[in-house]
Amino acid sequence: MVAPTHANVLILGESGTGKELVARAIHDRSPRKAAALVRVNCASVPRELFESEFFGHVRGAFTGAVKDRVGRFQLANGGTLFLDEIGEVPLELQSKLLRVLQEGQFEKVGEDRTRTVDVRIIAATNRDLAAEVKAGHFREDLYYRLSVFPIELPPLRDRLEDILALAHHFLQQSARKLRAPAPRLTPANVRELQSNDWPGNVRELQNVIERAVIRSRNGGLELGHSRASNIARRPPPTTDSAPKSAPASLHDLKDHERAFILEALARTGGRIYGPNGAAALLGLKPTTLSSKVHRMGLKKVVP
């Protein structure tokens, strides 16, 4: 709905949810698609260089300015400027940013000439900008100018139904990139992936799948990213004996792992191997689980 318009867009979401992909999709569906989409990662710009990065500078404007530089607003003229991590822009520069958003005008650093541009702004942040406004760290007028049309991207843990499609896409993509056969994605793989809280969101899932393609042999997908390795993040909802809070130390983590293994063994009658065994339930290799059982002194639980 917003892509064909010229309205500014503010994309909100955790790191790795795909904010830049959304920005590109908006630009590609806009009347500006033939012009440039220029990206600025505000988190990577040194504080003293923000103004030059946005508006450019003339030779001799400051120490190190050995030649004229065109700023990102001028580069994006007629197109779209994607300001990633907009919450990192220093407060003292936000008034100049507001001016160019309102009037389409700016001056290069060290130059008196006023330039005019026609730029659509798509901004993104993983911060709570409304809270930043209340704390006095972000200008309220700039916030409202940016968030004409806010889009909130939910974290991957809140859209587990997307994992199958995403995993399949990344599986094919990684296989092409690595020039390797695409392993088979099994229902057990999907359950294993859906048991994770994914703090790195879609980006983390992509990395896990690519590593799995590198490791996998004989057509099977070896994720190496099992539920047991993420026990601090998502305890099973139906387990009475499982720990109720995240571990606070390495000792607590080992206790959590032990509790998960005991619960799995109890559910499977002590069986480790086979499709109905504890290893399949936990998403582990049977040999790995057998080793853990032996190391933890749980052999008496196994028939």
Q: Is 253 within 8 Å of 232 (Cβ atoms)?
A: yes
Identity (one letter) of the amino acid at 252?
A: D
Q: Rounded mean pLDDT of 237-262?
A: 56
Dump pLDDT digits (tens) for 30-51.
999 999 999 999 999 998 889 9
Identity (one letter) of the amino acid at 275?
A: P
Q: In what order do the strands lie in the sheet with 80-84?
A: 37-41, 80-84, 120-125, 9-12, 149-152
Q: Rounded mean pLDDT of 204-218?
A: 87
**Measured distance CA(144)–CA(162) in Å, rounded:** 31
- Pick the more confident residue, 252 or 222: 222
Average pLDDT, rounded, for the chain: 84
**Measured distance CA(20)–CA(32) in Å, rounded:** 17
Q: Identify the pLDDT of residue 285.
A: 72
CATH number of 235-303: 1.10.10
Which string of DSSP letters, residue by residue, matches 63-78?
A: TT--S-EE-HHHHTTT
Looking at the chain, the domain(s) classified CATH 3.40.50.300 span: 9-153
Q: Rounded mean pLDDT of 268-294?
A: 78
Query: How big is the CA angle at 113 (ends 109 and 116), to the nearest 5 degrees?
Result: 95
Q: Classify residue 215 as left (phi > 0), alpha (psi -120 to 50) or beta.
A: alpha
Looking at the chain, the domain(s) classified CATH 1.10.10 span: 235-303
Q: Among 225, 293, 297, 221, which Cα is nearest to 264's?
A: 293
Burial class of residue 50 (count of CB atoms within 10 Å of its CB; 0-12, 13-18, 19+): buried
Please name the CATH architecture into which domain 155-225 falls: Orthogonal Bundle (1.10)
Looking at the chain, the domain(s) classified CATH 1.10.8.60 span: 155-225
Q: Identify the pLDDT of residue 294.
A: 78
Q: Identify the pLDDT of residue 252.
A: 54
CATH of 9-153, one of 3.90.1150.110, 3.40.50.2300, 3.40.50.300, 3.10.310.30: 3.40.50.300
